[in-house]
Amino acid sequence: MANDVQISVKDEASARAWLSNVVLLNEDYQTAMQEAGQTLEDMENFAEGTVVDDFVDLGSKILNAAKSTYEAINSIAKTVDTVINKTKDFVSEAAGVIGKVISIFG
* pLDDT surpassing 90 at residue 8: no
Pseudo-torsion of CA 48, 50, 53, 59, nearest 10°?
-110
The residue among 63 and 102 whose pLDDT is bigger is 63
Given a cut of 90, is residue 2 above it in pLDDT? no
Average pLDDT of the chain is 84
Is this model's pTM higher than 0.85 or not? no
Please tell me the predicted confidence (pLDDT) of residue 85: 82
Report which of residues 104 and 10 the model is more confident about: 10
Tell me, what's the pLDDT at 49? Answer: 97
- Residue 83, pLDDT score: 82
Yes or no: say if 42 and 34 are a contact pair by the CB < 8 Å rule: no
- What residue ranges do the domains of the chain occupy? 23-105
Q: What is the 3-state secondary structure (H, E, C) of the chain?
A: CCCCCCCCCCCHHHHHHHHHHHHHHHHHHHHHHHHHHHHHHHHHHCCCCHHHHHHHHHHHHHHHHHHHHHHHHHHHHHHHHHHHHHHHHHHHHHHHHHHHHHHHHC
Q: What is the pLDDT of residues 71-106, one digit of tens each?
A: 999 999 998 888 888 776 665 565 555 555 555 555
